[in-house]
């Protein structure tokens, strides 16, 4: 997919960067995000992936698109309604941007439906069939009647629309059936489909229709399974819902509402509990946001479409018609089928051997040498157990942690509760503004506070996005600190599917830096100097820009200039310009940007030394790693290597608290640089290459190499213990 008009003249090497039109200089942020979602959808079309995993990619693509509409599109429309029609940094007005977004969204929805039809046929070939009412025989109908009357009908609530019954509120992500009723008079009625009901009814066993098949997966056998969409079953029982009326016509629609909540607080130094309650009220009010997209199923009568569109006060450009299944994210239900032959093969999560060598003594293992853990290939339990040991160790005095996102039933939170109940001084910085997790975080904060923890909500005008834990322990030499610093959230569930890096260190300077950052979060104590780390909003961006300039100077002085970086998004114009200058200065730059990338690589004379790729595969690439050659060609043992919580976006640099952490330990340095980064750069199977025209194309390099498969089958370097080292020596010999 091309993001911008590529018919524009490509600049020559004589044109200075400052003279390059912004439309040729940057890619549009929103269209770049839509391009990423196309790549996710392409994985649903990729026959190399197992069938149910392809179906899961389709569901993820639809969920992503819904969130894009409820946040990004809503944000643009909100700015327009407020009279703010400023240009985007790539030179588009807001109406121009919306027009391009609408065009791409329509095409994306069309492609999703096409993919769904293809997957539906493939599922049927594998014995997972979506059926229609006409496919059911008498035995099926008898079973369905019993199921509907006992499990479905009691949950349904038909809602008439007339002067005595105002048009009801349809919540965000609401799926609803509209019906035109007829008896002595005509009126409209709505039937919301409760999210508590399965979207697809798994039909009961029918010996005359179901077939038993043999599976190639370890000789297993399965019974063909049939599913009936809920919206196709409901019309069979209209007479049970409306015994005295006739349904003349009906149709399905799906509502998406504005979720771009802007949290406002008049007194930023007020009570923290009041702050939480204030945010909670605003979050609850979010459900009343304006409708930003209204989708109808194909063939909905014009009068029904007009009635619902008018009642919901939806702009015509926000109304679409889907030729297929509405709310495709619901197909994730089918991915839960017990068909291991149609899913990725399970893998054994490793546990760092060095922790085993120390017999589970985390403090001893970390004190001996820094430790890096590569999730999900290595278990997130190492983070949980580190906290549990700290909670139970009588010599531990203090635990401090940031919480941006975690699971509803969190082993991390339980460990912190245990620590507080054991008399430790526990301080938790809970971010209230983590989108869609605000209510969950407030509940967790209350639970922790009841256990005796000190709860801080950070800043009103900034999000705390840094991932940090600090443990202070009384030892023979005195008080010693241990830190965990990560690229991902303290979320045991997503840690199974997101690639992230955890660094455990006892480095005194880093521990002091972490302590200063916590003091900034809890008491507004701005650090006057950090010894090794950098942080947003103070000096993280300036540190990145300075190191880019250092690489340019290395080339000027006759040394190699090189840079590798891995992140989720690259948006900041100033950083893009710095990378352009570095490319013009001869620095070789390789970027792995999973999602949004506003930089144009490969422009002659501007960015021909920059290569950008995106990896979309089995795991969500989430780790953020930055490497500078430091006068040497990467990879090199003297390179500067960092992990970070920050993507390169204006918000991460200016309105979030983020961290940039240097890696000095040889083994950790080698793992991140020579194993993680080099393997990601070698990847061809899961990779897409960004061209100067803004289009992504699948990597076609040979030999084929998958970073994900490599990490699944190779131990991490710094996590090796004595057993792994012995095995490696024996193999070498």
- Catalytic residue numbers, as ranges: 465
Q: What 3-state DSSP class applies to 283?
A: helix
Residue 93 φ then ψ, to 5°: -75, 165
CA 61 to chain centre: 11
CA 413 to chain centre: 21
Q: What is the dihedral of CA 546, 547, 553, 555, to 10 degrees?
A: -150
Are 564 and 672 a contacting pair, CB within 8 Å? no
Are 32 and 598 a contacting pair, CB within 8 Å? yes
Using the Cα atoms of residue 624, residue 630, residue 631 and residue 637 in order, give the sign of their dihedral: negative
- Least Cα distance to 716 among 350, 420, 434, 392 occurs for 350
Look up tokens 């007194």; give the residue: 267
Using the Cα atoms of residue 39, residue 289, residue 169 and residue 280 in order, give the sign of their dihedral: positive
DSSP string, 613-673: EEE-SSSEE---EEEE-TTSPSS-TTSEEEEES--BSHHHHHSEEEEEEEE-SHHHHHIII
Q: Give CA–CA dist 408/215, Å, rounded.
A: 37
- Least Cα distance to 136 among 199, 223, 204 occurs for 204
CA 687 to chain centre: 18
Rounded to a whole number of angstroms, the distance between the first and last alpha carbons of the chain is 51
């Amino acid at each position: 997919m091309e993001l911008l008009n590529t018919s524009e003249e490509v600049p020559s090497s004589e044109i200075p960067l400052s003279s390059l039109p912004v439309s040729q200089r940057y890619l549009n942020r929103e269209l770049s995000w839509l391009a990423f979602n196309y790549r996710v959808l392409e994985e649903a079309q990729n026959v190399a992936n197992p069938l149910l995993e392809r179906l899961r990619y389709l569901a993820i693509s639809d969920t992503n698109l819904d969130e894009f509409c409820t946040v990004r599109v809503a944000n643009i429309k909100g700015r327009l309604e407020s009279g703010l029609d400023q240009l985007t940094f790539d030179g588009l007005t807001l109406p121009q941007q919306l027009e391009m977004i609408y065009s791409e969204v329509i095409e994306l929805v069309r492609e999703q439906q096409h993919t769904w039809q293809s997957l539906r046929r493939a599922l049927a070939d594998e014995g997972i069939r979506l059926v229609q009412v006409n496919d059911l025989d008498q035995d099926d109908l008898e079973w369905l009647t019993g199921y509907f009357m006992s499990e479905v009908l009691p949950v349904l609530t038909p809602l008439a629309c007339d002067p005595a019954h105002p048009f009801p509120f349809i919540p965000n992500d609401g799926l609803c059936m509209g019906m035109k009723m007829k008896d002595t008079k005509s009126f409209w009625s709505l039937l919301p489909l409760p999210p508590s009901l399965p979207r697809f009814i798994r039909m009961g066993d029918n010996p005359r229709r179901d077939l038993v098949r043999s599976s190639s997966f370890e000789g297993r056998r399965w019974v063909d399974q049939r599913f009936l969409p809920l919206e196709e079953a409901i019309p069979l029982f209209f007479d049970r819902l409306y015994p005295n009326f006739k349904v003349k016509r009906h149709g399905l629609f799906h509502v998406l509402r504005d979720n771009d909540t802007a949290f406002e607080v008049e007194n930023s130094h007020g009570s923290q509990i009041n702050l939480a309650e204030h945010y909670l009220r605003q979050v609850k009010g979010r459900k009343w946001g304006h409708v930003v997209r209204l989708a109808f199923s194909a063939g909905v009568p014009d009068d029904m479409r007009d009635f619902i569109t008018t009642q919901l006060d939806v702009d015509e450009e926000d109304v679409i018609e889907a030729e297929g299944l509405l709310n495709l994210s619901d197909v994730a239900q089918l991915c839960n089928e017990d068909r291991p032959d149609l899913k990725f093969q399970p893998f054994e999560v490793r546990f760092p051997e060095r922790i085993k060598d120390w017999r589970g003594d985390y403090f001893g293992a970390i004190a001996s040498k820094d430790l890096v853990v590569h999730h999900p290939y290595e278990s997130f339990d190492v983070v949980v157990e580190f906290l549990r040991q700290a909670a139970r160790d009588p010599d531990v005095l203090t635990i401090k942690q940031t919480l941006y996102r975690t699971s509803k039933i969190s082993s991390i939170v339980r460990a912190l509760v245990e620590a507080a109940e054991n008399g430790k001084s526990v301080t938790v910085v809970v971010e209230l503004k983590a989108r869609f997790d605000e209510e969950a975080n407030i509940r967790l904060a209350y639970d922790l506070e009841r256990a005796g923890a000190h709860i801080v909500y950070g800043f009103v005008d900034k999000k705390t996005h840094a991932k940090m834990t600090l443990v202070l322990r009384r030892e023979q030499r005195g008080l010693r600190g241990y830190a965990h610093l990560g690229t991902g959230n303290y979320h045991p569930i997503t840690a199974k599917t997101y690639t992230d890096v955890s660094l455990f260190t006892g480095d005194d300077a880093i521990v002091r830096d972490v302590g200063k950052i916590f003091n900034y979060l809890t008491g507004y104590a701005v650090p006057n100097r950090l010894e090794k780390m950098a942080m947003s909003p103070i000096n993280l961006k300036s540190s990145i820009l300075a190191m880019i300039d250092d690489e340019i100077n290395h080339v000027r002085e006759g040394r190699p200039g090189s840079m590798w970086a891995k992140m989720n998004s690259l948006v900041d114009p100033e950083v893009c310009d710095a990378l352009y200058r570095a490319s013009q200065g001869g620095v070789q730059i390789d970027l792995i940007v999973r999602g949004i990338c506003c930089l144009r690589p490969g422009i002659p004379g501007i960015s021909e030394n920059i290569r950008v790729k995106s990896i979309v595969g089995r795991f969500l690439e989430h780790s953020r790693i930055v490497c500078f050659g430091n006068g040497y060609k990467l990879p090199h043992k003297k390179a500067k290597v960092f992990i970070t919580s920050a993507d390169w976006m204006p918000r991460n640099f200016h309105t979030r608290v983020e961290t940039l952490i240097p890696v000095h330990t040889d083994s950790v340095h080698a793992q991140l640089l020579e194993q993680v980064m080099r393997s990601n750069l070698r990847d061809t199977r899961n990779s897409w290459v960004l061209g100067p025209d803004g289009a992504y194309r699948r990597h076609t390099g040979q030999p084929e190499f998958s970073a994900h498969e490599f990490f699944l089958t190779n131990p991490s370097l710094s996590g090796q213990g004595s057993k792994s080292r012995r095995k490696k020596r024996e193999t070498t010999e």
